[in-house]
Amino acid sequence: MTELVEHGHLFIGGEWTEPLGTDTIRVVSPHTEQVIGSVPHASRADVDRAVSVARKAFDEGPWPRLSLDERIAVVTRIKDAIAVRHEELARSISSQNGSPYSWSVLAQALGAMMVYDSAIKVAAGYPYEERRQGALGPILVRREPVGVVAAVIPWNVPQFVAAAKLAPALLTGCSVVLKPSPEAPLDSYILADIAREAGLPEGVLSVLPADREVSEYLVGHPGVDKVSFTGSVAAGRRVMEVAARNLTRVTLELGGKSAAVILPDADPAATVAGIVPAAWMNNGQACVAQTRILAPRSRYEEYADAFAAAAGALVVGDPLDPATQLGPLVAQRQQQRSLDYIRIGQEEGAKILTGGGGRPAGLERGWYVEPTLFGDVDNAMRIAREEIFGPVVCLIPYGDEEEALRVANDSEFGLSGSVWTADVEHGVDFARRVRTGTFNVNTFSLDMLGPFGGYKNSGLGREFGPEGLSEYLEHKMIHLPAGA
């Protein structure tokens, strides 16, 4: 039985504060369908208060005026505390969103620690100021913190995404209002406690759990200088629209429908072993999941049998059980969404190779969906074009390599992808031709020292690496007199 976790305060400007509103967010376990916690629902007045203290902290406070080494010291303490409390964070996240505990330990908690560590390395070597010879004389180019950041994070990987936004924002000297999802707000209280103990100055960080209406108010607040958002394409469009009223700059990390392309010379065993965890990762609730698998027609039946067997063998169950490989979806609406797409795929003529029956046997409660693989999928089908965000994957046959490339690129998304081949250099050449922001050759990973982001409807801007750090900096040019 999961212990009931109840919080009565909001974290505003580094202090635990009585909320100005009266609404409450009830957190429900996707495994038991029972309430496991509650937090205050931030109101517009709470947003005003948080932005006000963030504004003061940036305009008048010490944080952006400290040396880089001093800011690195604070962020390092945050990173180290996450490492110490990673099991607590993982349990909290899995209990809220259904992520398998083993995956939460590695990707949710320790993954967040790695984000902070990588950002510290990037920040330490970043050129914040450089002299150049201009066309008319010497110039000085400076990079200065953008100001107050509204960071809106999703429920699927809350600590990892929070780190992707907080680490560069804090290291560059910004102040942040962090807005967790109402489905997964409990772990953000652990993060707030960590940040407070790390010694962030007054006003630099606030944490405001809230729904879409209050999130929109935050995004459109005139006191915010930058919005960093991760979520759906529809929500991203709305964020961009609202932020545009104040010409607030935005970074958007949105959806994906990534293709894993298997070339005819790939090793079948290694390929299936590499793609399965990338296709069904985090219960299919991952924007980078490889949810379109492209297999050559010459070996299609071989791969259909292998992937069906591997997906059917995934251990489905309690997300807090270390043996679980696939947990429940975060909410009943997400369960129903996957079930609707399973129905749509069958109506479109795709063939179920494994799964497709809805709730797995032996699980009487919880928002579970069997790991499902569709075969004989045409890329024009809805199940191949729309982001399902559940454990539903498409196997698409192709003829020659040019057709595989066309199918991989025939998507409104462009976030991730992979190619599997015996010839690594040929795989790299293939990767160069795919229109996505990240790509993999014979592997699946996400390196936090390089840029992450999407083409097309998968977003705007980049996170991680020096490219991600620069999203939190303004660029200033200072003209110098001749001979300076």
**Hey, what domains does the chain have and what are their CATH numbers?**
5-254+458-477 (3.40.605.10), 259-446 (3.40.309.10)
CB 288 within 8 A of CB 438: yes
Per-residue pLDDT in tens (0 to 9) along the chain, 484 residues: 467 999 999 999 999 999 999 999 999 999 999 999 999 999 999 999 999 999 999 999 999 999 999 999 999 999 999 999 999 999 999 999 999 999 999 999 999 999 999 999 999 999 999 999 999 999 999 999 999 999 999 999 999 999 999 999 999 999 999 999 999 999 999 999 999 999 999 999 999 999 999 999 999 999 999 999 999 999 999 999 999 999 999 999 999 999 999 999 999 999 999 999 999 999 999 999 999 999 999 999 999 999 999 999 999 999 999 999 999 999 999 999 999 999 999 999 999 999 998 788 889 899 999 999 999 999 999 999 999 999 999 999 999 999 999 999 999 999 999 999 999 999 999 999 999 999 999 999 999 999 999 999 999 999 999 999 999 999 999 999 988 8
Alpha helices per DSSP H over 110-231: 110-124, 158-172, 186-198, 212-219
Sequence-ordered list of residues with C-beta below 8 angstroms from that of 67, at least 6 positions apart, any chain: none
Strands (E), 274-347: 292-296
Strand partners, 397: 295
pTM: 0.96
Each residue of 349-362: b (16+ CB within 10 Å) or e? ebebbbbbeebbee
| Exposure on the CB side of residue 233, measured as CA atoms within 13 A | 17
Q: Which residues are catalytic?
A: 253, 287
What tokens were used for 49?
A: 């208060």
